[in-house]
Amino acid sequence: MKILLLSDEESKYIWDYFNPDKFKDIELVVSCGDLKAEYLSFIVTMIKAPLFYVHGNHDGDYLINPPEGCQCIDDKLILYKGLRIVGLGGSKYYNCSTLQYTEQQMERRITKLMPRIWWHKGFDILVTHAAAFQLGDGDDLCHQGFKAFNKLIDKYEPNYHFHGHNHLNYGKQERIILYKNTKIVNAFHYYIIEI
Helix (H, G, I), strand (E, B) or coil at 189: strand
Helix (H, G, I), strand (E, B) or coil at 180: coil
pLDDT tens by residue, 177-192: 999 999 999 999 999 9
pLDDT at position 171 is: 65
pLDDT tens by residue, 28-44: 999 999 999 999 999 99
Whether residue 100 is predicted with pLDDT greater than 90 in this model: the reply is yes
Tally of CB atoms within 10 A around 89: 28
pLDDT tens by residue, 111-137: 999 999 999 999 999 999 999 999 999
Going by pLDDT thresholds of 50, 70 and 90, the confidence category of residue 6 is: very high
Q: Name the residue among 52, 7, 8, 10 with its Cα closest to residue 27.
A: 52
Domain interval for residue 121:
2-194
Residues in the chain: 195
Whether residue 169 is predicted with pLDDT greater than 90 in this model: the reply is no
Whether residue 16 is predicted with pLDDT greater than 90 in this model: the reply is yes
Tally of CB atoms within 10 A around 157: 14
Give the contacts of 52 (CB within 8 A, at least 6 positions apart): 28, 29, 30, 31, 70, 71, 72, 73, 78, 80, 85, 87, 127
CB burial string 44-58: b at 16+ within 10 A, e below: beebebbbbbbbbbb
Summary mean pLDDT of the chain: 96
Phi-psi label, residue 103: left if phi above 0, alpha if psi -120 to 50, beta otherwise:
alpha
Segment 62-87 shows an average pLDDT of: 97
CATH number, residue 89:
3.60.21.10
Residue 139 main-chain phi, psi, to 5 deg: -85, -30
Question: Domains in the chain: how many in total?
Answer: 1
pLDDT at position 176 is: 96
Asked if 97 and 131 count as a contact pair (C-beta separation under 8 A), the reply is no
Going by pLDDT thresholds of 50, 70 and 90, the confidence category of residue 170 is: low
pLDDT tens by residue, 40-70: 999 999 999 999 999 999 999 998 999 999 9
Going by pLDDT thresholds of 50, 70 and 90, the confidence category of residue 168 is: confident
How far is residue 106 CA from its own chain's centroid? 15
Whether residue 172 is predicted with pLDDT greater than 80 in this model: the reply is no
Instruction: Tell me the sheet residues that pair with 79.
Output: 84
